[in-house]
Amino acid sequence: MLTSEAKAIPRGTFSEFPKNWKADFVSGFLVFLIALPLCLGISLACGYPAISGIFTAIIGGMLATFFSNSELTIKGPAAGLIVIAIGCVMEFGFTGGKDPIADYQAYRLALGVGVVAGIIQIFFGVFRAGILGEFFPSSAVHGLLASIGVIIMAKQFPITMGIGSEGTPLELIAKIPQFVMEMNPVVGLIGIISLIIMFGYLFINNPKLKVIPAPMMVLLVTVPLGMYFNFSQEHTYVFRGQEYPLGKNFLVAVPENMFHAITFPDFSGLLTATGWKYVVMFALIGSIESLLSAKAIDGIDPWRRKTNHDQDMLAVGAGNTLAALIGGLPMISEIVRSKANIDNGAQTRFANAFHGSFLLLFVALAPGLINQIPLAALGAMLVFTGFRLASPHGFIHIYRVGREQFIIFVSTIIGVLATDLLVGIAIGICVNMILHLKNGAPAKSLFKPQISVLRDEISGVTVKVKDSAIFSTWIGLKKTLDRLAGESHVVLDLSETFLVDHTTMAKLHEMEKEFKERKSTLVISGLDHHQPLSNHPEAGRRRGGE
């Protein structure tokens, strides 16, 4: 039986390619339709040339695919890294077009940072550091992603309205009414139509009406509008007595020959503290995002195939190294395109390879069409992407998990908006630690797990945890449980803990499912005298109560 089941599971091997290629080809093409505009928009939002994201997606599809065993993830540039990338080029002297020479040098310095960050990710994979993605508390990670979403919306909304976007995220948010009042009417019209299409797709339930993905529908509507308003020619127009400019600076610009856009890195930025700060940010936050995405896609894989996270990190690192060497953006296993890949019926990793191949062919054969895309349309797509990262549903979900989780979540968001990503996530972790101490976790148990394994011929294997089971000790507990996954019956006894936090409860529920898939049983016991911190099934548990 096991043999027949294994044969029924699609695998991305060349021997099985003839059996699955049609489904992968169709899904790869549909993902390409989504990826093309998003890669361009993400590149420009990062302060990189528009074609940089295309380079990354091509490498992610046609190379990184075969380093990883992840069958359904799509590798490419992601909105979640925009904040790091634009921060990097700005600290290296990016001027936003005012000084092209300075912008080009900042870009090359950022590429040097990207190469080293990619090499570090390769080492993460080789030395099996993929499990580091398990360390960070869930609510702080969600807060990090939500804050990135807020920053993306704040930065891209003025571009959608056809005006500049200088200022901090908080300053830009305060100026939103001003941006609406001062928008370039024609450019703003295209931006508003794009927003209506992107958000309107959320309310369409009929799959047949979504055959054309929302980003491609935006292009099908806005490219003709740009041609109608003659964006390709520099001119002005008058609206309500005020003169406004139009021209090529409101359109995407890529070279007619993509090979002319290949750019080599400058490693001199690594002689500065700024360079190494961004090496750490690219390597650490990019790795966390990629691991979270790969794990999420495993959860919705129809065949429940599991990604080797160390191998996937090796693939992402190799892809990032090569991409940065030729002028590309950083890549991750991207969640939105990966989910679209599943929804479109992909079977194996060849769908990712097809998506990269379609991008290569399109950019090589039809760069003129790319140069007709209005920047406002890409800005609108990124505003929507930012909204999805900072969705109100995310805020509501965290609040329902528990007030202390909401405090961690909001603290992380405020920390990121007021400082930067690394400081912000550190603030979220510190707030989490303080709340754990308040909820009864002994200080000595914050980083050192107290775990013992007992074997009994009658009751089987029992794993006892003392003091606390929290995010910062989860890796030790996970490794212990992973080693016992082959046992038929494992009991996790938490009766001697003072606190079991939300992150651990959520991961234990995942672990129960993993044991079940391996024809084993994990029983979580000892929580009868623990009080839930909210009514949510994954809420933290505190012994006793107020």
- In whole angstroms, give the CA distance from residue 273 to residue 437: 34
Decide: helix, strand or coil at residue 120. Answer: helix
Cα 75 to Cα 20, 117, 118, 242: the distances in Å are 20, 16, 14, 45
Q: Which amino acid is at 247?
A: G
Identify the pLDDT of residue 117.
Answer: 98
| Bridge partners, 134 (sequence order) | none
The H or E element containing residue 494 is strand 489-500
Distance CA 512, CA 507 (A): 9
pLDDT of residue 112: 98
Amino acid at 489: H
Question: Could you give the CA distance from residue 467 to residue 484 in angstroms, rounded to a whole number?
Answer: 22
CA-CA-CA-CA torsion sign (295, 296, 301, 304): positive
The ranges of the chain with pLDDT < 50 are 1-6, 546
Residue 446, both tokens? 């914050």
- What is the model's pLDDT at position 66? 87
The answer to whether the CB of 114 falls within 8 A of the CB of 324 is: yes
Instruction: Determine the pLDDT at residue 5.
Output: 43
Q: How distant is the alpha carbon of residue 428 from its chain centre?
A: 19
pLDDT at 7: 53
pLDDT value of position 264: 97
Residue with tokens 């909304």: 157
Q: What crossing angle do the helices spanning 82-91 and 273-300 adopt, rounded to 10°?
A: 170
CATH dotted code for 443-543: 3.30.750.24
SS3 349: coil
How far is CA 230 from its chain centroid? 36
What is the sign of the dihedral through the CA atoms of 421, 427, 430 and 432? negative
User: Is the torsion defined by CA of 14, 74, 471, 545 positive or negative?
Assistant: negative
- Per-position DSSP letters for 225-276, written without gaps between them: HHHHTTTTS-EEEEETTEEEEESGGGB----SSGGGG-----GGGGGSHHHH
pLDDT attached to residue 545? 52
Instruction: Please say whether the beta carbons of 93 and 352 come within 8 A.
Output: no
Distance from C-alpha of 253 to C-alpha of 255, rounded to nearest angstrom: 7
